Amino acid sequence: MKMNYGCAGIGLIAAALAVPASAMTEAEFQQAASEIFAPVMSEYDIPGLAVGVTWQGQDYVFTAGVADRDGGVAVTDRTIFELGSISKTFNVTLAALAEVEGRLSLSDSVATHLPDLKGSAIGKVSLMDLATHQTSGLPIQVPDEASDDASLMRWLHDWQPAPGGERSYSNISIGLLGRISAQSFGATYDKALQDHVLNPLGLGSTFVDVPQAEMSRYAWGYSRQDDRAVRVNPGMLDDEAYGIKSDLRDMLRFLHLNLDGSGAPPELRKAMAQTHAGQTETQYFQQAMIWERYPWPVPLDQILAGAAPGMAMKSQPATRLPKPAPGGEVLLGKTGSTNGFGGYVALVPGEDLGLVILANRSIPNPARVEAGLALIKAVLPAGQ
């Protein structure tokens, strides 16, 4: 399988080969990150970028460009970016926590928690199916006619699954999961997430709605279509599916706690670990609760194929595993985009390493993943 996502790939390969023999110095990290990401920023005209790696408890940070072209505001490790679908990793953490605390079971059907959907096709789907996109054709976006809760429930009640592909990447499925999880806590989604995930994990710069006092840190995104300065628009199930905003330092902390949960409350530590277990098998990766699991080390062509647009835009065959696949030598990843932002996060638990890429331009997923993989390989000592 031959993949080529632009001229930047040549520089990525060269940079990845310059692997240090021991732990990186700060200067070596800055050089490696610059060599890898400068060509990507140039090729895709990315205004601003924040990249971080947490490795064995040490954080490395690289920033470049501007958060606001008009104001010339430089990106820092405290610039707030839209996470897009990386938000879903927080959603499933809340769902897993609800199960750990006995508020629901992920084997429950949707109709168990949303009685209005009793007797419908979606009502028979399990909560774990929602967390793994195992819905056989549920659209990626909420349809226009589902403009409020009542019309959304009517549309869902009438929806029929498509024959064929089992895995259908969908904001609707994860949005429903978030609604149900929050309901089990007796709160709105943003309130439940804040009180039961963000605050206990010490994520003080991660928001569904950016407070007015923090707006000066909130970057502007830039549209790939016409280069306008944009931010995410409100929409049905947006908070649950793609609505979180965060900065590099908070995201590094979130990944560090996913790798080493000793700094998290015991219930959250268990919940985060649960989200990492493989649940279904696709052509290129195991689908966990939102996280996509690859073998580590992962062949470049395999991870690029898994990040290709078709995996999100089309239904794909996926086989349920007989039982959840535990840890092991894996890479867990998740991309995310809004109209003006693009990001990627990855965990390599066996190396105690996490990666964050945040940009105020949405670029092709394979380009982010290739750059991220190159930086991971550059950080790890030779032979790892």
Task: Tell me, yes or no, if 189 is annotated catalytic.
Answer: no
- Judge whether 289 and 92 are in contact, CB under 8 Å: yes
User: Across the chain, what does the average pLDDT equal?
Assistant: 94
Q: How confident is the model at residue 384, as a pLDDT?
A: 62
- Global confidence as pTM: 0.94
pLDDT confidence tier of residue 20, bands split at 50, 70 and 90 = very low
Q: Which backbone phi and psi does 249 adopt, to 5 degrees?
A: -65, -40
pLDDT confidence tier of residue 29, bands split at 50, 70 and 90 = very high
Q: How confident is the model at residue 165, as a pLDDT?
A: 64
Q: What is the pLDDT of residues 118-160, one digit of tens each?
A: 999 999 999 999 999 999 999 999 999 999 999 999 999 999 9
Q: What's the rounded Cα separation, in Å, for the pair 93 and 98?
A: 9
Q: How confident is the model at residue 3, as a pLDDT?
A: 34
Q: What range does the domain containing 112 cover?
A: 8-379
Provide the number of structural domains found in the chain: 1
pLDDT confidence tier of residue 5, bands split at 50, 70 and 90 = very low
What is the sign of the dihedral through the CA atoms of 86, 89, 92 and 94?
A: negative
Q: How confident is the model at residue 327, as a pLDDT?
A: 80
The residues, ordered by sequence, that sit 6+ positions from 259 with a Cβ below 8 Å of its Cβ are 54, 347, 349, 352, 353, 354
Q: How confident is the model at residue 7, as a pLDDT?
A: 40
Give yes or no for residue 87 having a pLDDT over 70. yes
Task: Tell me, yes or no, if 344 is annotated catalytic.
Answer: no
- Judge whether 140 and 316 are in contact, CB under 8 Å: no
Give the CA dihedral 81, 47, 343, 257, nearest 10 degrees. Answer: -50
The encoded tokens of residue 320 equal: 């349920």
Q: What's the rounded Cα separation, in Å, for the pair 384 and 376?
A: 10
From 5, 60, 169, 189, active-site residue: 169
Q: What is the pLDDT of residues 179-213, one digit of tens each?
A: 999 999 999 999 999 999 999 999 999 999 999 99
Tell whether 384 is covered by a domain.
no
Tell whether 2 is covered by a domain.
no
The encoded tokens of residue 139 equal: 């659209």
Q: Which backbone phi and psi does 189 adopt, to 5 degrees?
A: -60, -50
Q: How confident is the model at residue 326, as a pLDDT?
A: 87
Q: What is the pLDDT of residues 207-242, one digit of tens each?
A: 999 999 999 999 999 999 999 999 999 999 999 999
Give yes or no for residue 317 having a pLDDT over 80. yes
Give yes or no for residue 30 having a pLDDT over 50. yes
Q: How confident is the model at residue 163, as a pLDDT?
A: 73
Tell whether 324 is covered by a domain.
yes
Tell whether 179 is covered by a domain.
yes
Ramachandran class of 352: left when φ > 0, alpha when ψ lies in -120 to 50, beta otherwise? left
Tell whether 3 is covered by a domain.
no
User: Nearest to residue 211, comparing CAs of 190, 185, 192?
Assistant: 190
Q: What is the pLDDT of residues 325-351, one digit of tens each?
A: 988 899 999 999 999 999 999 999 999
Rounded mean pLDDT, 266-291: 98
CATH code of the domain in which 180 resides: 3.40.710.10
Q: What's the rounded Cα separation, in Å, for the pair 324 and 354?
A: 22
- Judge whether 306 and 293 are in contact, CB under 8 Å: no
Tell whether 357 is covered by a domain.
yes
Rounded mean pLDDT, 168-179: 98
- Say what percent of the chain tops pLDDT 70: 93
From 85, 136, 173, 337, active-site residue: 85
HEC per residue, 210-241 = CCHHHHHHECCEECCCCCCEECCCCCCCHHHH
Q: What is the pLDDT of residues 43-58, one digit of tens each?
A: 999 999 999 999 999 9
